[in-house]
Structure 1
Amino acid sequence: MATSPPFDYEAALLACARGERFALRALYEREARWLLGVAQRIVRDRERAEDVLHDAFVQVWDHAASFQPALGSARGWIYTVVRHAALKAVREPGRLQVMDVTELTALSDAQQRDDAADEGRGLDADSLERCLQRLDAPRRACVVHAFVDGYTHEQIAVRLNTPLGTVKSWIKRSLASLKECLS
C-alpha cells in the first residue's frame, strides 16, 4: 500500500509568500477542519470561528514571507496565527469565555494525532496532561491562563497577584519544560 509523502508546510508558506494561490488552497484544504476547531474552542461560536478562520488565512497569505523556519515549524506558525486571531476576537468587551484543561487536552489530542501521522511521533492528551502536572502549580496556572483561557500576561499577573516579570519568566520556562517533556 503506497503512502503519500508528508505535506511540506514550509514549502507551502514559501509558495504563499511568492503569491502562488494553490499553496494557500492546499494549506486550507489540509488544515481548515482542525483550525476551525481551534478557533471554535476559543470563540465558542461556529459562525465567529468561521470568520476568525477566514481572517487568519488572509493573514497567512499577507504575512507568509515573515515566517522564519529557525523560530519553529511552519504548521505551528499557522496554528499560532489562527489562535491569535481567535484570542483577538474574544478580547472584545464582554466576550471572553474560558476553556478548561479537559478541552485543551481534547484539542491537543486531535492536533497531535495529525502531527503524529505527519511526523511519526506518538504524542497524546495523556502526555500533555502528564507534562503539565510536572510543572509547579503557579507555573501550570500561568500556562493554562495564557494558552487556554487566553489571558494576557498582565491579566495573569493581576489574577495571581504576581509580578509581571515573574509571570513572563514562568511562562517562558514552563513552555521550554513542556517542549522538552513532549519531545
Structure 2
Amino acid sequence: MSLPEPTFDYEACLGACARGDQRALRRLYEHDSSRLLGVAMRIARDKALAEDIVHDAFIKIWRGAGSFDPSRGSARGWVFSVTRHLALNGVRNLHREVALDDAHEYVATADDSVEFSARSGQIQHCLEQLDPARRRCVLHAYVDGYSHSEIAQKLDTPLGTVKAWIKRSLAALRECMA
C-alpha cells in the first residue's frame, strides 16, 4: 500500500520564489519541469525549442513570482500559463522570421578586419577577447541582423545557450569598452 503523494503548494512555492528562495524554484522545477516540457512540446513540436521555452519559463517564473495574484487564478494555472504563452509566442515568432540567404553569412575568423569608426581598435580588441563561438553569435546578431533562432540554427546550438552567450558577451564588451 503506497501513501498518496502530498499536494504540492504552488502558492507557497511562488511566494518563496518571490522572496528569493532558490530552493523553492528547484522544488518547482523538480515537480513540474517534465509536465511543462510536455506543454511546450505540444505547442512548439520541436524538442530543442520546447526545452528553451521551459528554460525561459522558469526564468520568467523566478523573476515574476512576486506579481502572481491569487485573486486572478490558481498558482499552478499561472505557472502553466507562463509556459504556454512563451511557447505560443515562440512559435508565432518563428513563423514571422524571414529566411536569410547563407551567401550573406558573416563568418568571424582571426584574420577578419571589421572597420569601425571612432573606437575601432578598442572594439576589435574587446571582440578578440571573446570566445570564438560567442564572438560569432554577437556578430551574427549585430552585424548580420540574424535573430537568436537563426543563430541557433546556423551554429547548431540550443536557443537558450545562444541567448545566454549573447547576453554575457554584451556585458563583457560593455565592461571592456568602459
TM-score by length of 2: 0.51
Q: Distance in 2 between matches of 1:83 and 1:31?
A: 13
- Would you say 1:12 and 2:13 are equivalent positions? yes
Instruction: Give me the identity figure in percent.
Output: 55
The within-5 A match list for 1:75-154 is 75-94=76-95
Compare CA radii of gyration and give the structure with the larger one. 2
Shift of 1:92: 1.4
Task: State the Cα deviation string for residues 44-83 of structure 1 (Å, max 9, x = none).
Answer: 1000000000001000000000000111110000000000
Partner of 1:51: 52
In structure 2, relative to structure 1, the CA distance for the partners of 1:8 and 1:63 (3 Å cut) is same
Task: State the Cα deviation string for residues 76-125 of structure 1 (Å, max 9, x = none).
Answer: 000000001001101115269xxxxxxxxxxxxxxxxxxxxxxxxxxxxx
Structure 1, unmatched stretches of 5+, are 97-183
Q: Distance in 1 between matches of 2:29 and 2:66?
A: 17
Task: State the Cα deviation string for residues 9-58 of structure 1 (Å, max 9, x = none).
Answer: 00000000000001101111111111001001111100000000000100
Q: Distance in 1 between matches of 2:70 and 2:95?
A: 37
Partner of 1:70: 71
* CA RMSD in angstroms, aligned pairs only: 1.6
Structure 2, unmatched stretches of 5+, are 98-178
Q: Distance in 2 between matches of 1:2 and 1:61?
A: 31
Letter matched to residue 55 of structure 2: H
| Paired residue secondary structure (1:61) | helix
User: If each structure's helix is expressed as a fraction of its own residues, which one has the higher value?
Assistant: 1
Q: Distance in 2 between matches of 1:93 and 1:17?
A: 31
In structure 2, relative to structure 1, the CA distance for the partners of 1:30 and 1:95 (3 Å cut) is farther
Q: Distance in 2 between matches of 1:95 and 1:37?
A: 24
TM-score by length of 1: 0.50
Partner of 2:61: 60
In structure 2, relative to structure 1, the CA distance for the partners of 1:95 and 1:29 (3 Å cut) is farther
| Paired residue secondary structure (1:3) | coil
In structure 2, relative to structure 1, the CA distance for the partners of 1:45 and 1:70 (3 Å cut) is same
Q: Distance in 2 between matches of 1:79 and 1:62?
A: 15
- Would you say 1:39 and 2:15 are equivalent positions? no
Q: Distance in 2 between matches of 1:3 and 1:93?
A: 42
Task: State the Cα deviation string for residues 116-174 of structure 1 (Å, max 9, x = none).
Answer: xxxxxxxxxxxxxxxxxxxxxxxxxxxxxxxxxxxxxxxxxxxxxxxxxxxxxxxxxxx
Q: Distance in 2 between matches of 1:43 and 1:94?
A: 11
Letter matched to residue 95 of structure 2: G
